[in-house]
Amino acid sequence: MAVAGQKCGARTKTTGRPCEGTVVKGTSRCRKHQGEWSALGVLDRRERELKEAKRKQAKSRKK
Ligand SMILES: [Zn+2]
């Protein structure tokens, strides 16, 4: 588990140095380096899918 205040450490393409960004809580990377399949990305996706499912359900219920 990531500790609050931990450095991201991802190699930046521009400088080639480890990223100095602070990691997002619960992940090992900063906000800038969150990938599609990072914990945050997956959470985001799941939330979106949940909303989509709810919307579809509401639609079918109305009829
Ligand atoms: Zn970073």
Query: DSSP string spanning 22-60?
Result: BBPTTSSSBGGG--TTSHHHHHHHHHHHHHHHHHHHHHH
Instruction: Tell how far the Cα of 55 is from the centroid of ligand 1, in angstroms.
Output: 34
Instruction: Tell how far the Cα of 8 is from the centroid of ligand 1, in angstroms.
Output: 5
Instruction: Tell how far the Cα of 46 is from the centroid of ligand 1, in angstroms.
Output: 23
Instruction: Tell how far the Cα of 9 is from the centroid of ligand 1, in angstroms.
Output: 6
Q: What is the pLDDT of residue 17?
A: 93
- Tokens 């899918």 locate to 49
Residues, CB-to-ion distance under 5 Å, ligand 1: 8, 10, 19, 21, 30, 32-33
- Phi, psi angle pair for 7, to nearest 5°: -80, 150
Convert the pLDDT of each residue in 6-62 to its tens digit. 898 988 888 899 999 998 888 888 888 887 666 677 788 899 999 999 999 998 876
Q: What CA–CA distance (Å, rounded) separates 41 from 34? A: 7
* The model's pTM: 0.48
Q: What is the pLDDT of residue 53?
A: 96
Residue type at 60 in one-letter notation:
S
